[in-house]
Amino acid sequence: MQLNHSVTFKDPDTGACTNSIESSWRHAKVVMPQYHRKKDFFPSHLAKYMFMKRCHTLDLDPTVELLRMAGQVYDPTRNEEEVLEDYEIENEEAEDNDFN
C-alpha cells in the first residue's frame, strides 16, 4: 500500500496522522530479527514491542512488570493437583466439542 503524502499527512475528518502509524511500524520492525523472519512469530514480536514500549512510556521495569502480569494470570496459591484437574476437565470438554 502506498500513501500519497502530496495530498495530506492528516485526515481532516478523523484527525488520523499517517506519520504516527508509519513511525510506530518502523520501530516495531526494528525489534524483529533481520534473518529467518517467520510470519508465525510476528504476533509474538509485535506483542514484545508493545509491552516494551508500554514499560518505557510508563517508566516501568520490564522484568518486574512481566512478573506482576504473570502473577495476575497464574494463581500461585493453587496447588499442582488443582491445576491438573482443571487442565484435564478443559481437555475433556475440548475433545467433546471436537466430536460435535
Mean pLDDT of 49-73: 90
Higher pLDDT, 21 or 49: 49
Query: What's the predicted TM-score (pTM) here?
Result: 0.56
Residue 57's pLDDT band (cuts 50, 70, 90): very high
Cα–Cα distance, 60 to 58 (Å, whole number): 6
Please give the pLDDT value at position 75. Answer: 74
Higher pLDDT, 11 or 28: 28
